Amino acid sequence: MRSRTLIRLAIALASIALVSAACGTDDDEAADTSAAPATTAAPATTAPPADEPEPEPEGMSAEDITAAFILVGPVGDAGWNWAHDQGRLFAEQETGATTLVVESIPENAEAFKEVAIDFIENEGADIIFGTSFGYMDPMEELAAEYPDVVFEHASGFKMNDSNFGNFFGRIYQPRYLSGMAAGAMTQSGQIGYVAAFPIPEVIRGINAFTLGARETNPGAEVHVNWTFTWFDPAVEGDTASALLEAGADVIAMHQDSTAAGVAAQDAGARWVAYNSDMRNFAPEAFITAPVWHWGPRYARTIEAVAAGTYAPGAYWGGMDDGIVQLAELSADVPGEVADRISEAAELIRTGAWDVFTGPINDQDGAERVAAGETMEDGPMLGMDWFVEGVVGDASP
Amino acid sequence: MTEPTHAPLHTVARGRARWHRVLVRPVLQRRARVAPAAQAIAFVIGIVLALIAGALLLWGSGNDPVTVYQRMAESSLGGFDALSRTLLRATPLAIAGLAVAVAGSMGLWNIGAEGQMMAGATAAAGFAMVAGDLPGPVLIVLMLVAGAVGGVVLVLGPALARAYLGVSEIITTLMLVEVAIRIVEWLKVGPWKDPESFGFAQISPLPDKASLPGLFGQVHIGVLFAVALLLAFWLAVSRTAWGYELRMAGSSPATARYAGISLQRKVLTALLLSGGLAGLAGAIELSGTATRLEPGLSSGYGFAGIIVAALALMRPSGVAVVAVVFGAVLRGGQSIQTLGVTSSIATILQAMILIGALVAAVLLNYRVRWVRPVGSGADGDAAENPASAGASGV
C-alpha cells in the first residue's frame, strides 16, 4: 500500500519532469537563436576617443583590457554603488575596455576573494576595482597571489609597489560648499546630520559641512545622530525624522539611501544629499549634494594599465581633479549665496585655500588649527573630534 | 507549576479547531518510513524541475541557460578546486544546519544561529587577543572552545526563558541576532579598534598562527570537524537513550513526562547544544577564512542553517547531504554573477533550486490527507500530529 503510493508519486513527478523537460527544450532552442548572450558587460558600442597610440612594445590597447568592478551594495541604491557603476560606464565609453561588475558582495574576505578569482580566472580580468573599505585585506592577499593583475581599492590605505594601489577623493571639499548652502537655507539655524559610522571619513565630512554652514550662518548648529548603517533606508529615514522633530529644518546625510531626503520632504524641510545628484527622489527638499565622479579616474587607470605605465599609489584627489564635485544648486538658493559658493569652489579648485584652514576650534572651544595654518593630510585622515558648532559625540 | 506548552505549533492547530468542524481540509501526514533511495530520487527530481523553471527565468532575463548552468556546474563540482570551494561553504552550513537540527529534533526552532555564530566568532577573536602568545595549535583549539562558549552564552537567555517560562525561543533567539552583530559593530569602532589602521574602523587582525590549516584547494580542516560532529550527533540522536528521550520529548511531550523525562532539562540541553554548535561554526569560519573579526563574517550561514535543517528533516545524515548541495548552489550562484547574471536573478535561481528540493522532500515524506468535517477520529489524530504541523511551519 505504501509502496504503491510511492510509485504513484514517482510517476507523477516523472511525468511533470518529462512535460517540463519538453518545454525546457523549446526554451533552450529559442534562447540559442534569439536571446542575447549573457553580458551586462558588452563592450561599449561607441568608438573610444582617438588617444595617442601607445608605442611601448608591451603596451596593449585599452580595448584589450578587461576591468572588473566589485561593489558592496546594489547598483540601484542611487548612492555609493550607483556612483561607482556610473564611473564604470563612463570608463567603458571613454576607453573601449570591457568592464564587468558584480553587486552586493559583502565585506567578507572569502566572498570577495571568490568573486575576484572568478573574474581573473574565468573572465580574464586585468584590473580588479574593489570599492568598499572591508575589501582591503583580501585585495592585499590577492595582489601577492596574482602579480599580473592590477588591484585598485577605493577608500583604503594599503598598497604595494607593483600592482596594488588605493584611491579616494576629498569629498570634504564639496561638503563644505554644501554646508554653505545649507547654512543659508535654514530658518531655525538647526541642521540635522544623519551620520553613518563614527570613523574619520564621516567625521571629516561633518566638520567640513559645519564649517561651511557657519560661514554663511555663524550661529548655525549641526546636530549629529549616528545610524551605524551605510544602507538601511528605514533606519536612515527614522533618524532624519527624529532630527526634524527635534527642530532641525535642514537634513544632511552620509549614507547611500535617499530615505533621509524623503523624510525631510514629508516634513516640509530641506535636504543636502550625498553621493549622486539625488534631486528626483525629493525634489522639493533637495538643495544640493556633494557628489562622486569616479569615471575619469577609472578611465585613466585602465589606460595606464594598457600602456604598461601603471604604478600603484595612494591617490586622494580633490575638486581640482573633478573626482568630487558639488551638484547643481536648487533654484531657490539666493544668487548672492550661490556666488559665494562659486568663489569658495574656485579657491579650492585652484589650491589657493582649503577647507581645514585655521582658525578652527573644536567643540570645547580649544584651538585645533591656528589662524593661517592648513591641516596636513595625516591629521585629516585620522580626524576624531568635532569642530565648534557640532552638537553630538564623535566617539559615541 | 504547569509545564510550558511545548511546541508552539500545537497552538496553531488548536486555533484552527473551529473551522475544522466545517470544512474539508488537507492535512500533511508524515509517512512512517521512506526508503533512502526514494529520498535521493525525489531530491534530484525536485532540483531538476527547479533547474528547468530556472532556465525560463534565465532566458527571460536575457541570459543563456546552457552557458549559465555549465558555469554553475563547473565552478562548484568540476574538479578538485571547484569542489574545495563548495566544501568551504558546506562547512559552516553543515555545522549551523546541525545546530538548528539538534533543537529541531525536539521541536524547538533556534532561528538565531546567525547571532550565535557571531557570538562564537567574537569570543574566539577575543580569546586570540588575550592569549596570542600560545603556540598555534593550542591557540586554535582554545579559540574553538571559546567559540562554542560564546554561542552558549548568547542562547542561554532564550533557553532558560523557554524551559522555565515558556517564552517562545523563536522570537528571542532571532532578536539576539541583531544584538550580536551590533556588539561586533561597537567593538569595531570602540575597544577593539585596530590602532594601526590610521583611524579607519576595523578590528585588529588575528595572528597568522590562529588560522586553521588548509586541507586541499581552498578548504580548511574545519570540514573534518563538520564531518566528525555530524557523525557524533547521528550516533547520539539515533543510537543512544539520550537521543531517544530527546526525540520523544519533541514528538509527544505528554508521554515523555509520563515516562519521567524532565522536559525542562531536555529543552535546556537541546538549545544550549544548538547554540554551542552555532558558536563553534562561527569560530571555525573566523579561524578558517578570515583575517580579522568583522560584522559580515557569518554572512547568512546561520540563517541558511535553518533551510539546511528543514531540508534535512532535522536528521544529521540529511544535513551532510543538504549542506554540500547547498554549498554547491551558493558557489555556483556566485560564480555566474561574473558571467553577467545580476545578483537578484542569481539569488532567485538559488532560491528556486532550494524550494524545488524542499517541495520534493515534503511530497515524499508526507502524505496529503483530506480530512472530513464532524469529529471523525482521523481528524483529531492528524491535527495533533506535530510532524504535520512542523511541515507546514517550514
Q: How confident is the model at residue A59 (pLDDT cuts 50, 70, 90)?
A: low
- Contact at CB, A21 and B185, closer than 8 angstroms: no
**Residue A319's pLDDT is what?**
96
State whether A110 and B199 contact (CB < 8 Å). Answer: no
Chain B: give the shortest CA distance to residue A102, in Å: 6
Q: What is the CATH number of the domain that holds B380?
A: 1.10.3470
Q: Which residues of A touch B290 (CB under 8 A)?
A: 108-110
Q: Domain limits of chain A?
A: 62-169+294-317, 172-284+324-391
**Digit-coded pLDDT (tens) for B235-278:** 988 888 888 888 888 778 888 888 888 888 889 999 999 999 99
The residue of chain A nearest to residue B60, with distances taken between CA atoms, is A35
For residue range A317-366, what is the model confidence (pLDDT) as tens digits? 999 999 999 999 999 999 999 999 999 999 999 999 999 999 999 999 99
Q: Compute the average pLDDT of residues B105-116.
A: 94
What are the tens digits of pLDDT across the range A106-134?
Answer: 888 888 999 999 999 999 999 999 999 88
- Residue whose C-alpha cell is 592648513: A374
- In CATH, the architecture of A172-284+324-391 is 3-Layer(aba) Sandwich (3.40)
Cβ-proximal residues to A207 (8 Å cutoff; 6+ apart), any chain: A172, A356, A383, A386, A387, A390
**Structural domain for B296, as ranges:** 92-393
Q: Please report, for residues A216, A272, A339, A341, B363, the alpha-carbon distance to residue A334 in angstroms, rounded to integers and kept in the order given.
A: 12, 16, 9, 11, 69
Chain A residues with CB under 8 Å of B54 CB are none
What pLDDT is stored for residue B373 in this prediction?
Answer: 64
Q: Is A104 on the interface with B (CB under 8 A)?
A: yes
Closest to A315 (Cα-Cα) out of A332, A298, A328: A298
What is the DSSP annotation of A55-96?
Answer: --TT---GGG-EEEEE-SS-GGGSSHHHHHHHHHHHHHHHH-
In a domain, B207, yes or no: yes
Residue in B closest to A26 by C-alpha: B56
B75 interfacial to chain A (CB closer than 8 Å): yes
Where would I find the H helices in chain A? 2-34, 80-95, 109-123, 136-145, 172-185, 200-216, 233-245, 259-266, 295-307, 335-350, 377-381
Stretch 251-280 of chain B: residues touching chain A, C-beta under 8 Å: none
What is the CATH T-level fold of the domain A62-169+294-317, as seen in this structure? Rossmann fold (3.40.50)
Q: What does the pLDDT read at residue B375?
A: 53
pLDDT, mean over chain A: 86
- Taking CA atoms, B328 is separated from A253, A257, B226, B334, B350, in Å, by 40, 33, 16, 10, 10
Which residues in chain A have their CB less than 8 angstroms from residue B292's CB?
Answer: 137
Contact A109 B335 (CB under 8 A): no
Total domains in chain B come to 1
User: Looking at the domain assignment, is residue B354 inside a domain?
Assistant: yes
Q: Assign residue A351 a region (left: φ > 0; alpha: ψ between -120 and 50; beta: otherwise).
A: left
In this complex, is the C-beta atom of B294 within 8 Å of any C-beta atom belonging to chain A? yes
| Chosen from B48, B338, B365, B367 to mutate, greatest number of chain A CBs within 10 A | B338
User: Which residues does chain B have within 8 Å of residue A108's beta carbon, measured at their own beta carbons?
Assistant: 290, 294, 296-297, 299
Under 8 Å CB pairs connecting chains A and B tally to 154
